[in-house]
Structure 1
């Protein structure tokens, strides 16, 4: 019975070699001759089940028994089957474009038949190629090739695009799937505390996302749709000190480089604090501001 052939690999010796052993679960008789294959090509015939050689990471080895070459052991190698992502976790803004950078390796003598990305693996069916999933047409683009690059681009990101993305490829001699890349899609939210104040009180604006964007260089702040002069900060917090009626209005924020994707607006109301003439001026300013913002 030769169908249970396996190749076992030892650790690297001081000379830089590894020793391979062709083993089986049953006892072979008649002093069999072992045939060794490197990258799919026959390299040696031995009466011993041991074989030593210098290894490269991409080299694969297999063995068979002479006379039964059609039944060989599964190929073993160090790094010939792999999928590598530049980032295992990605945070991106709703409405933006993201590239999931990816590379892959496989035995050099194999030919790529199919390569695709998926998020769901249905029992009894297998993984669903994203390019054929409703809602993804024109939304994703495979930037990779059938050699080593497997980069995926997703445009006009939606909150529903948050998922674990996996790359899978099928060769002329096997198949392999990478581990998931976690993509979290977030929008920008402005928090205002408090939203209604009296004159000379402070107001704190906080620009939040539900995951950490990388990199963030600065935040931009807006009042009534216009940039607030000299307001760019490296902190997600912006404080309006000692507000007056002139600070009444609608505020929003954005991440630098994505100013076209600002947060929803929050409205600040400033109440008049003093009586007499100042109170009247405060009231007039609020009325004028409200009229100008409609």
Structure 2
């Protein structure tokens, strides 16, 4: 640290004061000092200790606050404020919990149009040349109306009479949404939870069902069609499907059989033509063997005739 006065030369001795009352032994204009959290150091001209300089000290624990009170609505503008007493004045850095990169380097963090993804815990860091002291967390809880709900059936597809089915509805919302199930052309409430199970289902349960989700920020709904078929119809339909499947397999087998037979016939015909061509060209191995035998027999006969008729 260095103490300077417009009324005194740079090399003039100074008085150094710790925490407003303890006089330090150093008297030069520049000193080195190890700070602790509560230390405040100031200097004064000798004889004027009652009129010291402003104290130098580490940043105090930062406090964080929300610029406006009340609930935080999606799309609104909010400001987070960080303050810390420090000299030299503190610099500020904002962070979101579990996000490593800083969000801003100012005493205020402004969200012009806050979104549901901004929900979370935030904190700030205040630092000067002496130290960096971190704030407590402040929670940002963004409220929004339910998103378009997703509805599904378990099991899916057509439902057979006498079985059970569960209709499921889910939606992202803050605060958590309330769920209501209604059937088309029926104003009475069918169910008031996410999962709506119908046991021993009958044909009268067929129709369109609506899932209505709502909280204090708004509402949304989606529909799903439930089809219930009689057991006899279901059985006949399955038998028909099986018969069609078997018929298709038979047709496929017949086609493969015909194709293999045709392929074999084409192969035999090709071999026959190649054999005839080889005979014509005299290149067939069997033909060559027969020609050789004939030539040998003719030569042998000619030798016998010479021996019988020497003249």
Whether TM-score is above 0.5 comes out as no
Higher strand share: 1
Q: Which TM-score tier does this pair reach, normalised by the shorter chain? A: 0.3 to 0.5
What TM-score do you get using the length of structure 2 for normalisation? 0.40
Higher helix share: 2
What TM-score do you get using the length of structure 1 for normalisation? 0.42
Greater length-normalized contact order (CA 8 Å, ≥ 6 residues apart): 1
Who wins on radius of gyration, i.e. which is larger? 2
